[in-house]
Structure formats: C-alpha cells, structure tokens
Chains A and B, each alone.
Chain A
Amino acid sequence: MPAVISRSNSETARQLDHQLAQVNKNLHRSIALGAESAVRGELTDVYLECSEANWDGYNALAVDPDSFALAKAFLMALPLGTRAPSAGAHPDGQMSLEWYSGPRRSLTISFDPVGDLHFAALTGPSRACGTEAFDGEVPQILLELIELVS
C-alpha cells in the first residue's frame, strides 16, 4: 500500500513524487523522526508473540498477517514527528496501536485485514469511535485524535 498517493500527471512530477516518497520512507526509518521506526520492532514482536492461537489464554485467534501489514502501512503513512504508539493485539487476530498519555486520554486503533481501521478514543469527558477505510493516507479524524491524546 503506498504511503504517498501521487496526484501528478507529468513524468517530472511523477519522478518528484517518487523521490519524495523515498525521502519520506527514509525519514520514517530515522528513530528521531518516525513513529514507524520507533514502533516497528515492537510491532514485529507482538506479531510473533501472538502468531499462535490462544496467545491471551482466552482462545484468541492468531494475529492475521494482513492485519500486521496494514498496521505497518499505517505507521508509514503517519506524518513525520508523530508520537510513537504502543503495539498490541486483539483476540480476533487484529493488530492494535495505542496512543496513551494518561487517564481518559487515549486512542486505540484496530487493523482489520479487509483494510478498515476500527478506532475508539477517550479525550477527557468526550469519547469517539468509528471505522475508517485506509487508502494509503491516514484519515483526518485519526490525525486529529492522535493530536488530542498526544
């Protein structure tokens, strides 16, 4: 899944888009700048730890490789400088990412292998939840929620 969607028509613009995407990818791999880099090891650890059924002791399904791939693509698509989340898994085999900054300030995203992002957030007295499709760009509502709980 592309982290950057090209909207360009000319060959030069396409090349520029490609170069920008490459720079973005490399920056994401910088520990100082990219959430993907910071959490990549943990994401893989969770995937390996939860790759067999019943990893939670309550009959959880093994984590789906497509959910793992979706979570990685999502991390790559986050704006540079985004605070790194922590990784986890749900009993339905979906990977999860959590941004948490204290009581009633947290966001959890669950990565459905079909390409959907299920999310829920507590932001002080308010709460929000829903499902957004992931097409290579982070949905605006999730960017706003990450900002709110970071």
Chain B
Amino acid sequence: MLALENVPDVERSETLSRFIVSSRHIRNSDETVKADAFVPHPYEELSVNRDKQATDEETWGVGYVVALKLGRTLYGRADALAATYTSLQLTTIAAPIPDNPNHVNVCNWPPGKPEQILKAKEIAEKAKLLRQPLNSKVSED
C-alpha cells in the first residue's frame, strides 16, 4: 500500500477497483457489472481504490474492511484502468484517507443524470468483474 505521507498522482495505467456490496450490481448471466455500480448521483465523486504499490490481497483487504464495517457482503470488485475513466473526460484524483492511502475519487461527472448513466455504462463495458476469492460471506445482508 502507499504511504499516507507520499501519495503520487494517479497514472492512466493504474487499475482502479470499485467494490461491489450489492448483488444487484452483478449480471449473473455473463459475470459482468451493471452500470448502476458506477453512477455517482447524487454525489459528485465516485469512490474507487487504486492498486499502486498494493498486492492483490491488500486490495481485497480494503474491500473486506469496507463490507465488514457496513455489515454487508462483499460480492466482488469491478476493475478498470484509470485510462478508461480519463478517456471519458472524467478525472481520477488521489484522495487518501487515514485507513486507506490508496483511495481515489473519480470526479468531473456531468451534472445531468442521463449523461452520468451513459458514462457509467461505458465504464461498465470495460470493467472486469472479479468475484471475491474467499467464496464466503463476510456477513449476511
């Protein structure tokens, strides 16, 4: 994981993960992610997690902690390159928080809901769903 006191800007080649704690965000038919998982409205930012200097286990660990705090099930994560976001005129801003220096905010979303859904659909098209590897629920929904 990154050090809180030394967090670099996000590069286009980094992988950004969106943790999935709602089963409704996953299409079981072909193991893909719905656009619903990437719509930020009513917020101006979308929270994701960068993989820079983090092992895969550390990245999953962040997801488990998020789910555990919520008493929710971690179903998986949707991975997409930072370039996927920036190619849609979105910006990826490093936004470290005390218990997660790898936290990133995706900003510069258009104000209109239809335009946000459209961008979310483009991201979902390129995102790869990874099922959580423990194959066990952190807690029941």
Q: How large is the interface on B (under 10, 10 to 19, 20 to 34, 35 or more residues)?
A: 20 to 34
Among B41, B112, B114, B117, residue most surrounded by chain A Cβ atoms (within 10 Å): B114
Q: Which listed residue, A57, A59, A104, A129, touches B117 by the CB 8 Å rule? A: A129
With known contacts A89-B24, A119-B117, A129-B118, A103–B41 Cβ distance under 8 A:
no
Which residues between 51 and 108 of chain A lie within 8 Å of chain B, taking CB atoms?
Answer: 54-59, 61, 86-92, 94, 96, 98, 100, 102-104, 106, 108
The number of chain A residues touching the other chain, given as a range, is 35 or more
Count chain A CB atoms within 10 A of each CB in B19, B30, B115, B118 and give the residue with the most: B118
A147 at the interface (CB under 8 A from B): no
Query: In the complex, what distance in Å separates the CA atom of A100 from the CA atom of B117?
Result: 14
Q: Which of B1-57 contact A (CB under 8 A)?
A: 19, 21-22, 24-25, 27, 30, 34-37, 39-43, 47
The 5 closest A-B pairs by CB, nearest first: A120-B117, A129-B114, A120-B118, A57-B21, A118-B113
CA distance A46 to B43 in the complex (A): 21
- Please determine whether A108 and B117 come into contact, CB atoms closer than 8 angstroms: yes
Give complex CA distance A43, B43 in Å: 24
A122/B117 in contact, CB under 8 A: no
Q: B113 is contacted by which of A54, A59, A104, A110 (Cβ under 8 Å)? A: A110
15 contacts between A and B (CB under 8 A): A49-B24, A50-B24, A55-B22, A56-B22, A86-B34, A88-B36, A89-B24, A91-B39, A91-B41, A92-B41, A92-B42, A104-B125, A120-B35, A122-B121, A130-B114
- The answer, yes or no, to whether B67 is at the interface (CB within 8 Å) is yes
Which residues of chain A come closer than 8 Å to B141, judged between CB atoms? 49
Known: A91-B39, A118-B117. A57 touches B66 (CB 8 A): yes
Q: Look across to chain A and name the residue whose beta carbon is closest to the beta carbon of B47.
A: A58
User: Given the complex of chains A and B, what is the CA–CA distance between A106 and B34 in angstroms?
Assistant: 10
Structural contact, A91 and B117, CB atoms closer than 8 A: no
Which A residues are CB-close (under 8 A) to B27? 86, 100
